[in-house]
Amino acid sequence: MRIFLTGATGFIGSAIVPELIKAGHQVLGLTRSEAGAQSLIAAGAEVHRGNLEDPESLRAGAAKADGVIHCAFDHSAFGGDFSKFLEICEKDRRAIEPLGDPLRGSDRPLVITSGTGMGTAVPGQPATEDHFDRNHPNPRKASELAADSVAEQGGNVSVVRLPQVHDTRKQGLLTHAVQVARAKGVSAYIGDGVNRWPAAHVLDIARLYRLALEKHEPGGRYNAVAEEGVSLKEIAHVIGRGLNVPVVSISHEQAQAHFGWLAMFAGSDMPASSAQTRQRLGWQPTGPGLIADLDGMDYTHA
């Protein structure tokens, strides 16, 4: 298959490119820059110039493909400002419609990206693939609402929901937690620190995107979760070792001053299950765990 991939030069996308090529697919990667184009060519992919703000470039890329994986998300514009996060989620929603336009009425798959939190039905219970709250307070729901809209108009759409995606260079929100610990001189968790975050290695994530694409099951929702929940206390201890700083417990009242925008996540219990995903796709994650990657990170350059 010829696959149009957004986010092709990003953290996750750059792992998806070789995963698809190794499986015999061709990759048409979206990029706005010459540096991005050169990296795609070096990886063995074709180049499609455009960006998320240009619906015609998205529509044209999808029209050239047998399937589309949309993993681009403008994290760089977030910067901890949640008013911007709402705008970024709306930008993602607006990108999904033109990606789906050329695929409507066909079996050609569109795989879009969301977060595992969208599957949380009961606080403290693992999020599951078969749950989606259309009234969820998190603006990230916009991506799945857009996917449902494309599906209602004859598109074959499925969703990959991401946890903390990691290797020894990046670990999702925890990349910022390391920066906070470095700046504050302590690695902190809130209260007893037993709240959990789900996680998966970036190479396992890349394989899941490929499997979801090849399955092309209309309406499929998949949790890309290798570890259902790693405690924030355990995470704080490994960051403390890496930075050689004390590990401390802080109160919920202290969290905002210490963590800034990360505080609302640092105190959240967000476990997620991938039992249905593993059964439907035969996906078995094999990469290192989150703690192993945090342990293996070079903290002098992190």
CATH no. for residue 13?
3.40.50.720
Task: Judge if 109 and 69 occupy the same domain.
Answer: yes
In a domain, 277, yes or no: no
Residue, of 133 and 163, whose pLDDT is higher: 163
Query: pTM of the entire structure?
Result: 0.95
181-213 pLDDT, tens digit per residue, is 999 999 999 999 999 999 999 999 999 999 999
Q: Return the pLDDT at 83.
A: 63
45 SS3 class: coil
CATH of the domain at 264: 3.90.25
Residue with tokens 């010459």: 34
Range of the domain at 238: 166-198+228-272+288-295
- Backbone phi, then psi, for 134, in 5-degree steps? -65, -15
**What end-to-end distance do the CA atoms of the chain give, in Å?**
37
How high is the pLDDT of residue 81? Answer: 59
DSSP codes joined into one string, 1-59: -EEEEETTTSTTHHHHHHHHHHTT-EEEEEESSHHHHHHHHHHT-EEEE--TT-HHHHH
Domain count, the chain: 2
**What tens digit of pLDDT does each residue of 72-131 get?**
987 664 555 556 888 889 999 999 999 999 999 999 999 999 999 999 988 889 999 999
Residue type, 77: A
Q: Is residue 279 part of a domain?
A: no
Same domain flag for 141 and 242:
no
